[in-house]
Amino acid sequence: MTRTASGTEVPRTTPIVRATLAQAAMELRLLVRSAESLLVPLGIPLGVLVFFSVVDVLPTGGEAPVDFLVPGVLAISVVATGLVAVAIQTAFERKYAVLKRLGGTPLTRGAFLVAKGLSVAALLLVQTVLVVVVAVVGLGWQPGGGLLLAPLLVLLGALTSTALGLLLAGTLRAEATLAATNGLFLVLLVISGVTFEAEALPAPLAALGALLPMGALRNALDSALSGEGLAVEATLVLVAWGLVAVVVGSRRFRWEP
Amino acid sequence: MPEAAPDAAAAPGTAIAIRGLTKRYDRVAAVAGLDLEVAIGETLALLGPNGAGKTTTVECCMGYRIPDEGTVRVLGHDPRRDRALLAPRTGLMLQEGGVYPHAFPEEVLRLFAAYYRAPRDPEELLQRVGLTGSRRTRFRDLSGGQKQRLSLALALIGRPEVVYLDEPTTGLDVAARRSTWELIEELQADGVTVVLTTHLLDEAEQLADRVAIIDRGRLIAQGTLAELTRAEHPRVTFVARPGLELASLSAALAVPVTEPSAGQYLVDADNEPELLVRLSRWLADRGERIEDLHTGTSSLEDVFLRLTADDIEVAP
């Protein structure tokens, strides 16, 4: 409590839960506010799923296109929201001194990061449900297993992607972040085995794809959803990316423009 | 959260204590050995030309910058180490930006209100800064003045004890300026400590209890308005035919008289009736006409221009 000159008692503890939830709601509203910002996280994954399931033009191995596509489309969703959308949004918040201004409020950095994570989680929940509903209802998809493991992997992928997105936003200029994430996203779409079998690629490119977050997440989800259990190697790749992003990000992240 | 004890060194009644503050960017000192104190409930205007170090000083008080030398204490606390304690008690108005470009004034005020335990009513504040008509306009589409006013509202939403206002009325029209001043005067009445950076001298005259003039990172003058303007020599100036006999006039008035530029005369003395009578008589005896007579102390503007003269001269 502190007292102003006119004698009013003003309680000064920070309502951390209320602050974090309000921040998360704001972040979420901003994520979905402009239609163009929803194209990447929602439009592209669903478009890929429906188009390539119905039009069998890509090498998807021996399995039905939808069985092959669901893990990849989930991986696309996670990276599109966690990495691309978060990086671009945060980069411009930094550019326009929003992050600096927040630094002058009682909102802690930890609460700020939790709020970002919550907004990503909320959007991702909608995306995942949409993908699964379209796959099951529209395309007759039936998972071979992984009903517990797959959501955990999506969560891990989301944490890793968000950490990477924040790393880019906090170290590069906003315009560079925009270009880098969009470019990276396109490359990942091609080399991660998410829309067509990675075996169709030159071997070194396929190996590289499997070592990058989208490919690793796709492989781990594929293993889980086809009932083969935990793909240890792919999961470790994801964890490693997440750790690198957190360690480098916590040292290098700049809050000011 | 453990309550950090305020520094024993800070005198009671002091809101902000800055000692020997030096901050360099790429070896260039933006602030060079600044000493400054602001009492609780006081309004200090930090006045200085662009690049004088005003913003850097405020940013050290906010904990945004680590001083290279010296110390800063706000309400007895280190702004960086005790950020968590100070943030709920301070309000900040940045010079520009600081708000989500796609957010609406209404929701940003509500968001900021959620950071504080006992905030002001966002709706009331929205009205006070005249933004009810733009409550659902994206920040990036607001006019410059509207952005300023939202920024002011954000500084006040948490009922701060110390408020930093960086150029609060730059770019505002007359009416908006008046209402901003009224809001600041209400803060003063409520005992809030206000640090105001400005290059508008009338704003400083209107609002400040005390003025600190800084130039090139150094404090070059400080005091109440009365002190600053009294420190200037009281004087009488007049315009007449160039080339009057200064020695004779000085003798007649018994004070020094100079002619700084042709036809502009400066009498270095108080404006006493007796002096004016003698001046008029001396001029009348010689058939000289007086054209423009000014008396009294100098304005804050005179003080400011004299103290920062070097900068004014090099300015294009």
Q: Are B85 and B135 within one domain? A: yes
A110: confidence class by pLDDT, cuts 50, 70, 90? very high
Could you give phi then psi for residue A5, rounded to 5 degrees?
A: -60, -30
Minimum-distance CB partner of B191 among A5, A15, A21: A5
Confidence of residue B221 (pLDDT cuts 50, 70, 90): confident
Q: Which pLDDT score is estimated for B314? A: 38
Residue B259 pLDDT: 86
B220 and B274 co-located in one domain: no
Residue B266 bridge partners (DSSP): B237, B258
Residue B123 has pLDDT above 90, yes or no: yes
- What is the average per-residue pLDDT within A114-140? 93
Structure tokens at A38: 């929803």
For residues B192 and B291, membership in a common domain is answered with: no
Phi, psi torsion values for A223, nearest 5 degrees: -60, -45
Find the mean pLDDT for residues B230-253.
82
Q: CB neighbours of A82 closer than 8 A, spacing ≥ 6?
A: A120, A124, A157, A158, A159, A160, A161, A162, A164, A165
Contact A12 B89 (CB under 8 A): yes
Mean pLDDT of the B301-307 span = 72
In terms of domains, do B170 and B272 share one? Answer: no
Q: Residues of B with CB below 8 A from A107's CB?
A: 115
Structure tokens at B108: 């940003």
Of the candidates A10, A23, A96, the beta carbon closest to that of B118 is on A10
Between chains, do A97 and B115 touch, taking CB under 8 Å as contact?
Answer: no
pLDDT score of A10: 86
Q: What is the mean pLDDT of residues A251-255?
A: 92
Is residue B2 assigned to a domain? no
pLDDT of residue A61: 66
DSSP track, B199-219: S-HHHHHHH-SEEEEEETTEE
H or E element at residue B22: strand B14-25
Q: Which pLDDT belongs to residue B313? A: 41
The two tokens of residue A115 are 């709020």
Q: Which of the two residues, B58 and B304, has the higher pLDDT score? A: B58
> What DSSP letter does each residue of A17-82 carry, written as one string?
HHHHHHHHHHHHHHHHHSHHHHIIIIIHHHHHHHHHHHS--S--TTS-HHHHHHHHHHHHHHIIII
pLDDT of residue B298: 61
pLDDT of residue B5: 52
- Is residue A163 within a helix (H) or strand (E), and if so which, with residue range? helix A149-171
Least trusted range by pLDDT, from A162-171, B105-114, B123-132, B219-228: B219-228
ipTM at complex level: 0.90
For residue B155, is it within any domain? yes
pLDDT higher than threshold 60 for residue A21: yes
Question: How confident is the model over B23-46, as pLDDT tens digits?
Answer: 999 888 999 999 999 999 999 999
pLDDT recorded at residue B1: 42
pLDDT score recorded for residue B297: 59
Q: What total number of domains does chain B contain?
A: 2
Same domain, B22 and B160: yes
Q: What pLDDT does B316 receive?
A: 37
Tokens of A19: 């602050």
Indicate the average pLDDT of chain B. Answer: 87
Distance CA A87, CA A170 (A): 8
CA distance B10 to B12: 6
CATH number at residue B265: 3.30.70
Predicted pLDDT of residue B172: 86
Cβ–Cβ of B62/A104 closer than 8 Å? yes
Q: Look-up: residue for tokens 């221009």?
A: B305
Do residues B109 and B258 both lie within one domain? no
Report whether pLDDT(A131) > 90. Answer: yes
Q: Is B44 helix (H, G, I), strand (E, B) or coil?
A: strand
Q: Dump pLDDT digits (tens) for A36-80.
A: 667 777 888 888 898 888 887 766 666 788 899 999 999 999 999
In total, the C-beta contacts within 8 angstroms joining chain A to chain B are 101
Classify residue B193 by its DSSP letter: E
Q: How would residue A92 be classed by pLDDT, with cut points 50, 70 and 90?
A: very high
Tens digit of each residue's pLDDT (9 = 90 or more) over B188-199: 999 999 999 987
Q: Give contacts of B190 with chain A, Cβ < 8 Å.
A: 4-6
What residues of chain B lie within 8 A of the CB of A30, using their CB?
100, 102-103
Confidence of residue B230 (pLDDT cuts 50, 70, 90): low
Burial code of A163-175, b = ≥16 C-beta within 10 A, e = fewer? bbbbbbbbbbebe
Backbone angles phi, psi at A121, to 5 degrees: -60, -40
Reported as a pLDDT band with limits 50, 70 and 90, residue B234 is low
Residues of B in contact with A96 (CB under 8 A): 97-101
Question: Do the Cβ atoms of A96 and B99 come within 8 Å?
Answer: yes
Same domain, B29 and B147: yes
Q: Which pLDDT does position A197 carry in this prediction?
A: 85
Report percent pLDDT > 90 for chain B.
55
Q: Are residues B171 and B266 in the same domain?
A: no
Residue A56: its pLDDT value, please? 72
**Residue A15 confidence (pLDDT) above 80:** yes
Q: Which chain A residue's Cα is nearest to B62?
A: A104
* Banded model confidence at residue B8, pLDDT cuts 50, 70, 90: very low
Convert the pLDDT of each residue in B61-120 to its tens digit.
999 999 999 999 999 999 999 999 999 999 999 877 799 999 999 999 999 999 999 999
Smallest Cα distance from A210 to chain B, Å: 37
Q: Which residues of A touch B (CB under 8 A)?
A: 2, 4-6, 10-15, 18-19, 21-23, 26, 29-30, 33-34, 92-93, 96-98, 100-101, 103-108, 256-257
Order of all β-strands in the sheet with B90-93: B90-93, B162-166, B193-198, B43-47, B210-215, B218-223
Q: Does residue B9 lie within any of the structural domains?
A: no
Report pLDDT for B205. Answer: 86
| Closest CB from B40, B92, B114 relative to A104 | B92
State whether B225 and B239 are in the same domain: no
Would you state the pLDDT for residue A35? 65
Q: For residue B156, what is the nearest residue in chain A, using CA coordinates?
A: A105
- B307: in domain: no
For residue B290, name the pLDDT band (cuts at 50, 70, 90).
confident
Q: What is the pLDDT of residue A163?
A: 96
One domain for residues B59 and B195: yes
Lowest mean pLDDT among A7-11, B127-131, B221-225: A7-11
Q: What value does the mean pLDDT take over residues A92-101?
A: 95
**What average pLDDT does chain A have?**
91
Residue B315 falls inside a structural domain: no
B250 within domain boundaries? yes
- CATH of residue B224: 3.40.50.300
Q: What stretches of chain B show up as alpha helix (H) in DSSP?
A: 54-62, 83-86, 105-113, 122-128, 144-156, 174-189, 201-207, 225-231, 246-253, 273-285, 300-307, 309-314
Does B292 fall in a domain? yes
Mean pLDDT of A125-154: 93
B41 lies in which domain range?
Answer: 14-229
pTM for the predicted model, two decimal places: 0.83
Residues B188 and B273 in one domain: no
How far apart are the C-alpha atoms of B93 and B102, rounded to whole Å?
Answer: 19
Q: Tell which of A18, A26, A34 to mutate to test the B interface (max B CBs under 10 Å).
A: A26
**Spatial CB neighbours of B316, under 8 Å, sequence gap ≥ 6:** none
